[in-house]
Amino acid sequence: MAIDPITLEVLTQALISTVREMRATVCRTASSVAIYDAKDFSCGLFAPDSQVVAQSEDIGSHVVPLPWSVRTAMEKLGATLQPGDVILANDPYTGGTHLNDVTVIYPVFQGDKLIFFPAVRAHWADVGGMVPGSMSGKATEIYQEGIRIPPIKIIEGGRVNEAAQELLLANMRVPEERLGDLNASFAACRVAEKRIHEICARYGIDQLLEAVRLDLDRAEARMRACISALPDGTFFYEDYLETFMGGKFEPLLMQLALTIDGDRMIADFTGTAPQVPFPVNSTASVSAASVFITVKSVFDPQAPLNQGSFRPIEVIAPPGTIVNVQRPAPAGSHGEIRKRVIATMVGALSQVVPDRVAGDTCRTSFHNLLGGLDTRTGREWVHYEWSAGGNGGFAENDGPSAMAPIDWGDLVTVQSSEVLELRMPLLVETSRLATDSGGAGRNRGGLSMQRTLRVLAPDTRYSLLSDGAIVPAFGVLGGLAGFPVGSWIDREGEVENFDTPGKVAGHPVELGAAVVIRSAGGGGYGDPTERDPARVAEDVREGYVSNAAAHQLYGVVLDKAGEPDAEATAALRKRLKESRFKLVAVDDASSFEAGSVSRRRIARINPADAIEARLNEDDVIEMDARKAAPLRAWLRIDPKVVRGTLPIDAHGLIILKSRLGDELELRAVLTSVHPRAVLATAAE
């Protein structure tokens, strides 16, 4: 069937408009603050073969993994589906993300023919488990993260399965909110069903399905053309997630080999750390979706998203690793795995298209949970906070501050203080950008957000599931790292830190104490000493950059009026560049050291070099040639290494776009920022 271009576009936009109406319905009918106010949900339309055919401003990390859930549901229930059936699921192991993301899949029939699946994936503030909000920073198995729902028919033949619904809600905190959110998803899908039937009545089912096929094919053709324009080859990058095995910090390696072959791309995560009994794992669907999100965002961001864009991309995620978790290991860290997959993709692509990538984003979805039983009212309460971090600087400008990164769609990333104070026993005392938190660069990384939440209820518990509290976001092309994640309890100036940064489980917070949370900053883009001094002076005036950072990182000397002194700035920048510590790359067959679970890259240097560079054993350092993304490693001081040299393996040289004999810069990475230091900087 031939379809003219105008009709094709009309039908494409009609389906996208249907998804937008689904979103409006959820916003108007949901019960949870996280859904109706902060928009932590997504909608989409899917073909019977599970391909996503339409979405709008939805959260990519919800929609892009959804085909795995639809496929699993069809494999289990497809033969029995009839009009009036509705499927409910949240199981990470069968295509979900984490247990809090509860998915409604709604079959739409035209006569006896199944034609579409409208679906809603919404973050429920609580699905049971060991802590209020379900996401524990110290879970050791998935059963501690909440109730797990395999694909089931929650509605069958138009009748709600009351027993199943009651069983589920009985295992969740604030069940009346959960029921309201479930009904909101049902309502959105019914709206989609009505609109799909209206489109079919006007244009015919055959023409609509042909338009879907053509739309998928043209998206595939666009992506293949983008990939074909890249040089063939295999490019590498590696990054780390954070865990505490037996209370001791251990980084978990994520290793990527990205192959470009004609109009195809293969992302291979072989060599990545094995899964652990700690919330640092996620599913193959999330890992693959993260690859897709990166490629789509870098190469084809303007065109509508559908499954066709992803056909040229293959993802290899070995089972039993942190990127393809198997039962019963925890799977709550989907946001952390997702952002680390994006980071490794950015690191590899920085070697190919450095002008198209940005510094690393804020490292984590930063799941902060507060809740308990308010004994004054006799009611349960749960607050889910995900203060946004900074995005990476890029070729054209600074990274956005406290704003949704590429995997978050239109998710509201600074939640309304008024709504929180109305609905929760909390007082939002401060919400501000953290000074110096964005990585220094020619274009600065975006700043993180710092928020103070005063607790107004007794017997409150605080949990945090995050990453990037020790290893922060990296810059590219000589840009520096952003601030790491931070959180602490403030009792009228008395600060309590956590022994496992970024991972907290049900920590008691008494009435009147404050929880202070600081998201991560984005990585910088380009050499900081190349930033326009006038822009640095403006950053200082706005409070984005301190006077100390302007001087030490950007090499800008400001006069008493706060304006750049051109002559003094030029001289200081010359000294800063000359003082950068560099070593000559020499061959090393083995640059990795085995830990109890994973491997980590090691940089071995002579003791005299360590003294000169002011580096200490086990420091986290960056090796950088300022041509792509830097390479992180842990320092070992070794008298066997020839002074002035840096042993490095072939993969490391490829990542740095360097050769043996080249000079590589070494610098320490800021792995923690004490809250008092942050407060002092802010008050400067």
Residues above pLDDT 90, as percent of the chain: 87
Question: Average pLDDT, whole number, for the chain?
Answer: 94
What gap in Å lies between CA 431 and CA 104, rounded to an integer? 34
**219: its two tokens:** 């998206």
**Do residues 155 and 193 share a domain?**
yes
Q: Are residues 513 and 633 in the same domain?
A: no
Strand 152-156 vs strand 248-261: parallel, antiparallel, or unpaired? unpaired
Helix ranges (H only) for 553-662 are 566-578, 607-613, 650-655
If DSSP codes are grouped into helix, strand and coil, which group holds residue 64? Answer: coil
- The 10s digit of each residue's pLDDT in 215-258 is 999 999 999 999 999 999 999 999 999 999 888 899 999 999 99
CATH code for the domain in which residue 640 is found: 2.40.40.20
**How does pLDDT run across 150-203, given as a tens digit for each residue?**
999 999 999 999 999 999 999 999 999 999 999 999 999 999 999 999 999 999
Nearest to 360 by CA among 460, 266, 445: 445
pLDDT in tens, 72-96: 999 999 999 999 999 999 999 988 8
Give the C-alpha separation, 518 to 497, whole Å.
Answer: 13
Residue 408 belongs to a domain:
yes
Q: How many residues does this entry show for the chain?
A: 684
Q: Mean pLDDT throughout 377-382?
A: 92
Cα 35 to the chain's mean position, in Å? Answer: 18
Render 540-579 in DSSP notation, one character per residue.
HHHTSS-HHHHHHTS---B-TTS-B-HHHHHHHHHHHHHT
592-638 tens-digit pLDDT: 999 889 999 999 999 999 999 999 999 999 999 999 999 999 999 99
pLDDT of residue 245: 85
State the Cα angle at 280 between 277 and 285, rounded to 5°.
110
CA dihedral defined by 453, 486, 491, 249, rounded to 10 degrees? 130
Query: Residue 445's pLDDT band (boundaries 50, 70, 90)?
Result: very high
Instruction: Give the orientation angle of helix 162-170 with respect to helix 175-203, to 10 degrees.
Output: 140
Residue 619 lies in a domain: yes
Which residue in this structure is represented by tokens 């607050």? Answer: 383
Same domain, 436 and 546: no
Q: With 90 as the cut, is the pLDDT of residue 59 above it?
A: no
| SS3 of residue 121 by DSSP | strand
Residue 593 and residue 569 share a domain: no
pLDDT tier at 674 (50, 70, 90 boundaries)?
Answer: low
Report whether 104 contacts 88 (CB < 8 A).
yes
pLDDT tens, position by position, 561-584:
999 999 999 999 999 999 999 999
Give the end of a domain, one of 174, 198, 220.
220
458: which 2 tokens?
């007794």
| Segment 256-279, tens digit of pLDDT | 999 999 999 999 999 999 999 999
Percent of the chain with pLDDT over 70: 98
**Same-domain status, 554 and 592:** no
pLDDT at position 4? 92
Can you give the residue range of the structural domain that contains 515?
Answer: 358-526
Q: What is the pLDDT of residue 95?
A: 83
Domain boundary among 526, 551, 571: 526
Q: Which residue has the higher pLDDT, 677 or 669?
A: 669
Average pLDDT for residues 521-550, to the nearest whole number?
A: 97
3-state SS string over 306-321? CHHHHCCEEEECCCCE
Q: What is the pLDDT of residue 672?
A: 67
Residue 676: band (very low, low, confident or very high) from pLDDT cuts 50, 70, 90: very low
> How far, in Å, CA of 134 to CA of 145, rounded?
5
- Residues 379 and 516 placed together within one structural domain of the fold: yes
Tell how far CA 497 is from the center of its chain. Answer: 24
Strands in 264-268's sheet, in edge-to-edge order, are 233-245, 248-261, 264-268, 313-316
In a shared domain, residues 175 and 98: yes
Q: Of the residues 168, 191, 220, which one is the last residue of a structural domain?
A: 220
386 with 486, same domain: the answer is yes
Question: Is 348 domain-assigned?
Answer: no
Q: What is the pLDDT of residue 342?
A: 96
The answer to whether position 318 is within a domain reads no
Residue 63: what are its φ and ψ, rounded to 5°?
Answer: -75, -45
Q: Are residues 611 and 563 in the same domain?
A: no
Same domain, 561 and 616: no
Q: 562 and 664 share a domain?
A: no
**In a domain? residue 264:** no
In a domain, 317, yes or no: no
Structure confidence by residue, pLDDT tens digits, 114-124: 999 999 999 99
- Residues 608, 563: one domain? no
113: pLDDT confidence band, cut at 50, 70 and 90?
A: very high
pTM, to two decimals: 0.94
Residue 432 CA to residue 388 CA, distance in Å, equals: 11
Give the position of tokens 């692509």. 349
How far is 439 from 551, CA to CA, in rounded Å?
A: 15
In a domain, 206, yes or no: yes
pLDDT of residue 678: 43
At 488, give phi and psi (nearest 5°): -160, 165
Is 139:162 a contact under the CB 8 Å cutoff? no
- Residue 2 pLDDT > 90: no
Binning pLDDT at 50, 70 and 90, where does residue 20 land? very high
Evaluate whether residue 226 is within a structural domain: no
- Round to whole Å and give the CA distance between 497 and 599: 28
Residue 49 burial (CB < 10 Å; 0-12/13-18/19+)? exposed
pLDDT confidence of 673, banded at 50, 70, 90? low
683 band by pLDDT with thresholds 50, 70 and 90? very low
Q: Into how many domains does the chain fold?
A: 4
Sheet strands (E) in 157-208:
159-160
Rounded Cα distance between 552 and 580, Å, is 12
pLDDT tens digits, one per residue of 314-344: 999 999 999 999 999 999 999 999 999 999 9
CA 55 to chain centre: 20
